[in-house]
């Protein structure tokens, strides 16, 4: 299925509805109510209508940041614009590259001033469906709140906005391109150039990064049974088996947990320790990177992280919150052993014996062929339409597309 987006126009009271009845998105209801109380035509505001992959639920968008095509258009430029960092060297896209499914290929990320982060850059595949953001931060509930983390982070610095807000906003203000884009995106505001609006526009753009046309999707949702190899199909059955248990934590349409959409009833938030470390034989994870524990200081939260989506996982190496596993083969070996053994050095310890490890991580035995089947299944989650989608690519033309894209 094609990932086309289509739009409906609301011009003052007149509603030229080109949505084809996809109704119910918070943006259209929010906007039609403004339209009905306003008798003079307001500036054009084009409300976004989802054109979702087959089988995908409708996203739930925060009330305080409805999606419009103008905000998406602005957000796309900001996401890729190096002027977004105090050093003029990095934007969101510096750590989230489309040709790597919006990751950066590094073990752990580097901020604009050279500061080292402790975490691996996450994929932005389908983040609109997350109920929580980042590897282990239960307080981050919206994409515009999340965007302010890289903007304002100080220890370590990412984009370097703290104490530099006006300087960076002034840069954007004097750029003719942005005068138009900001005014259109925030038409009723006398001063649209604010940090909050930057975050909101970027969040709108990031919400559209939806991937649902992998070989796996073609088999499951589009009846194209030949799209996956027999090996990948056997791998799928293993992935969804009680022997491997993967699907308990990487399940559902998004191969993740902590999901949020129009069909979810409960606020799902799950974090797990999957046995990567066992420092001092006390179940400890390395300092400053202890997952949920860094937020709650509760023993049981030691090493607990969010199970991320496995969509496009082939392109997002290295793996885990600290990038400490280099390949998918090694990820499988880690799970097969029921935790990672680090024999020597400062992180020595047997993760399989971590007392806080999830009871779903127990180890299993796979033949060489079966291992290859699971890997082939994981690779069937790669969505080339997503990776090559020009709607998501660098409007300044600096970032190279993946070699597989025309």
Token reading at 381: 């989650």
Among residues 150, 160, 235, 351, the one that binds ligand HEC under rule CB under 6 A: 150
Binding characters for ligand HEC, 245-284, by CB under 6 A (x = yes): xx-xxx---------------------x-x-x--------
Task: Tally Cβ neighbours within 10 Å of residue 284.
Answer: 18
**In the complex with ligand HEC, which residue's Cβ is closer, 307 or 387?**
307
Buried b (16+ CB within 10 A) or exposed e, 352-364: bebebbbeebeeb
Give min distance, CB of 181 to ligand HEC, in A.
16
Dihedrals phi, psi of 242, to nearest 5 degrees: -70, -15
Does 90 participate in binding ligand HEC (rule CB under 6 A)?
A: yes
Give min distance, CB of 166 to ligand HEC, in A.
18
Q: For residues 26 and 33, what is the distance between their CA atoms, to the nearest angstrom?
A: 11
Does 392 participate in binding ligand HEC (rule CB under 6 A)?
A: no
Does 373 participate in binding ligand HEC (rule CB under 6 A)?
A: no
Q: Which residue has 């709108």 as its token pair?
A: 204
**In the complex with ligand HEC, which residue's Cβ is closer, 19 or 117?**
117
Binding characters for ligand HEC, 96-135, by CB under 6 A (x = yes): x------------x-x-----x-x-xx-x--x--x--xxx
Binding characters for ligand HEC, 302-331, by CB under 6 A (x = yes): ---x-xx-x--x--x--xxx---------x
Strand partners, 49: 6
Q: Which residue has 């990038």 as its token pair?
A: 323
* Helix/strand/coil for 291: strand
Cβ atoms of 195 and 188 within 8 Å: the answer is no
Token reading at 285: 């994870």
Q: Is 165 left (phi over 0), alpha (psi -120 to 50) or beta?
A: alpha
SS3 percent helix, strand, coil of the chain, rounded to 5, is 35, 10, 55
Does 235 participate in binding ligand HEC (rule CB under 6 A)?
A: no
The site for ligand HEC (CB under 6 A) is made up of 90, 92, 94-96, 109, 111, 117, 119, 121-122, 124, 127, 130, 133-135, 143, 146-147, 150-151, 158-159, 202, 206, 244-246, 248-250, 272, 274, 276, 305, 307-308, 310, 313, 316, 319-321, 331, 335, 358, 360-361
């Amino acid at each position: 299925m094609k990932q086309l987006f289509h739009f409906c126009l609301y011009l003052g009271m007149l509603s030229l509805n080109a949505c084809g009845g996809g109704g119910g998105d918070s943006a259209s209801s929010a906007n039609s109510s403004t339209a009905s109380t306003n008798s003079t035509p307001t500036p054009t505001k084009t409300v976004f209508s989802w054109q979702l992959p087959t089988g995908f639920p409708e996203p739930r968008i925060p009330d305080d940041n409805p999606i419009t095509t103008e905000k998406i258009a602005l957000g796309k430029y900001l996401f890729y614009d190096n002027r977004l960092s105090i050093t003029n060297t990095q934007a969101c896209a510096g750590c989230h590259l489309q040709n790597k499914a919006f990751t950066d290929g590094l073990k752990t990320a580097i901020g604009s001033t050279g500061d080292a982060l402790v975490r691996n850059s996450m994929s932005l595949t389908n983040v609109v469906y997350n109920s929580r953001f980042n590897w282990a931060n239960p307080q981050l509930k919206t994409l515009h709140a999340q965007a302010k983390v890289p903007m304002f982070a100080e220890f370590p610095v990412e984009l370097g906005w703290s104490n530099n807000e006006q300087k960076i906003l002034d840069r954007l203000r004097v750029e003719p391109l942005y005068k138009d884009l900001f005014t259109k995106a925030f038409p009723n505001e006398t001063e649209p150039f604010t940090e909050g609006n930057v975050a909101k526009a970027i969040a709108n753009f990031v919400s559209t990064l939806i991937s649902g046309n992998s070989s796996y999707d073609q088999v499951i949702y589009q009846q194209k049974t030949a799209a996956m190899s027999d090996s990948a199909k056997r791998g799928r059955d293993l992935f969804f088996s009680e022997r491997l248990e993967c699907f308990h934590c990487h399940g559902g349409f998004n191969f993740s947990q902590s999901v949020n959409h129009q069909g979810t009833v409960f606020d799902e938030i799950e974090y797990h320790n999957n046995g990567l470390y066992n420092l001092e034989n006390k179940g400890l994870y390395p300092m400053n990177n202890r997952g949920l524990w860094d937020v709650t200081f509760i023993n049981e939260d030691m090493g607990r992280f969010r199970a991320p989506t496995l969509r496009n996982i082939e392109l997002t190496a290295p793996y885990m919150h600290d990038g400490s596993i280099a390949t998918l083969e090694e990820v499988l070996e880690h799970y097969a052993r029921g935790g990672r053994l680090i024999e020597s050095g400062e992180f020595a310890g047997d993760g399989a014996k971590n007392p806080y490890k999830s009871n779903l991580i127990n180890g299993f035995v796979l033949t060489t062929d079966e291992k290859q089947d699971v890997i082939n299944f994981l690779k069937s989650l790669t969505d080339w339409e997503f990776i090559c989608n020009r709607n998501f690519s660098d409007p300044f033309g600096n970032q190279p597309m993946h070699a597989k894209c025309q």
